[in-house]
Amino acid sequence: MNWYPSILGLLVLSAAACNNPQPENHTANTTGRDTVVQQPARDTSPAETDTAIISPEIKDAQKPGKTQQKQDAYQAKATVPPDQSSSGNKNFQAVTDLDASILLDIRYATANNFTKAKIYDCPACLLRPAAAAALVKVHRSLKGKGYGGLKMFDCYRPRPYQQRLWDKVPNANYVTPPAKGSMHSRGAAVDLTIVDRDGKELDMGTPYDFFGRAAHTDYTQLPAAVLANRRLLQKEMEAAGFAGIRTEWWHFSFRKGNYVLSDFLWPCE
């Protein structure tokens, strides 16, 4: 069908977004592709869309070839040594230890994510301590304004888990190669939304990990209330030192500090 290449373009656009280590580069990389992007039919649930469209691409990506070459190139360029420290938790802060009222819905600890596979052994939201403290400020600011606060979809993503993602989807268009790393693997990125006082997610126009133009922060063909909710999230996060990216309303990176990639795995009981 004619729409297939366009949908594929959408997937490519959002591919590395959450995983991209340099949001500004991500923006640059995708500039120009907008001209070929079309909004997918919204009457298809994102889950169905992911299943129907990603599957053949994943299958294709598992063939050796260009993808392996890309991975080799990334490994050759990787110059930052990973943080192997298993002294561990001093380098990271569980946000729920700072404020237990922050909600967790860590999708990679379930099969409810775009890979349809459980990637993390157990859920946790760890961040570099400064980022965690900043996040709690946002949470409390929102509570002070009558909201329930934040719900976290993803936080620190250890490189071994990034490797699992890569093993599942070995395609640099979809997953950042582990050797390249991502802000998530540096403990300095979050995927999140805002909830109301009943714990219900505010309407952000699309679900988390929706692959398409409607998830872009510069997409304005949305109800005023949705745009207001997105602006609220962006404003609160920026005030705490985070910066968003154009292609995913839910992704923010902490901009205060440089952090190395880490292999630290949080314990599971």
Active-site residue set = 248
d(CA 51, CA 48): 5
| Contact between 16 and 250 (Cβ < 8 Å) | no
* Only segment of 103-111, 192-200, 233-241, 250-258 that touches Zn ion (CB under 5 A): 250-258
Burial of residue 74 (CB within 10 Å: 0-12, 13-18, 19+) is: middle
CA distances 24 to 11, 244, 261, Å, are 19, 10, 19
Q: How far is the CB of 131 from Zn ion (least distance, A)?
A: 13
Nearer to Zn ion (CB atom), residue 26 or residue 251: 251
* Residue 238 burial (CB count, 10 A): 14
Nearer to Zn ion (CB atom), residue 149 or residue 244: 244
Question: Which residues on neighbouring strands pair with residue 87, listed in sequence order?
Answer: none
Tell me which residue of 210, 199, 209, 204 sits closest to 226, measured CA to CA.
204
* Only segment of 71-79, 115-123, 134-142, 248-256 that touches Zn ion (CB under 5 A): 248-256
Nearer to Zn ion (CB atom), residue 57 or residue 191: 191
Based on the shown chain and the rule CB under 5 A, indicate whether residue 157 belongs to the binding site for Zn ion: no
Based on the shown chain and the rule CB under 5 A, indicate whether residue 251 belongs to the binding site for Zn ion: yes
Nearer to Zn ion (CB atom), residue 16 or residue 56: 16
Based on the shown chain and the rule CB under 5 A, indicate whether residue 18 belongs to the binding site for Zn ion: yes
Q: Contact letters (x/-) for Zn ion, 177-216, by CB under 5 A?
A: --------------x-------------------------
- In three-state secondary structure terms, 161 is helix
- Binding footprint of Zn ion on the chain (CB under 5 A): 18, 191, 251
